[in-house]
Structure 1
């Protein structure tokens, strides 16, 4: 890649991304962000070390134990059992609900007609007739007319379509 296209691609990248941390200077920003990152990792690592040193590695000599009370180990292992059982129960419930929902969808929802087809067709025909009467033939208004100016007298009232539906259903 030649120098000009490389410079252009760098300029394009700079338009979309900007991070002062990686620029020259900004010493206090870098120091603050590194310090916050290190403190955050300490908050992650210390509880894990604390828990493992007091439970799993309690009889090992290579790791110093923070506390060695039997109650703490019992709580740790009982929580472990609780979370394993809770995970299994929730997984079974999730699978059962999914199967039930799929069965219900296949057997009931798709077989139930949610609308009256005769009523739908009558409404559709009524509105087509109204549009043809008001705005002209569908082929003309869809294919030939590119610009159409509506006069204030031609504006539809808010409940025009509702009136058409009601009038057609009463017949």
Structure 2
């Protein structure tokens, strides 16, 4: 029978966000201030245009307010076009740089120790055979139910590597 987990148990296992954890007051304050300032920055142009139109009608010529709106949108559109071009240039440059680094550095030199990899593979295969049965039976099974005591701890693999003398860095 499948056990159903409560919401609290699921939250403890899967949801991790420093903002919602207890403590971290400085982080919460910083993120809230940045968010509020961003929203204020978003609404200020609309407020500056709409305030005279809605609340100072006798002193504002509506046509002039629309000209102000059009001028503001032209300035913002130019700003956003320039910003989009800069972002595209940066993305293309970073992609080129990353691809060049990949071909020049990672493609030409071995970035791992083959002996360590072989030792780790052998250690994991041996562990899996001891814990879950031989490789052929593991790969041919379509469905399996692992008892709770055979579940892996978060440090199990790292501990196996350390026992074999090839720890993770």
TM over 0.5: no
TM range (shorter): 0.3 to 0.5
Larger radius of gyration: 1
With normalisation by structure 1, the TM-score equals 0.38
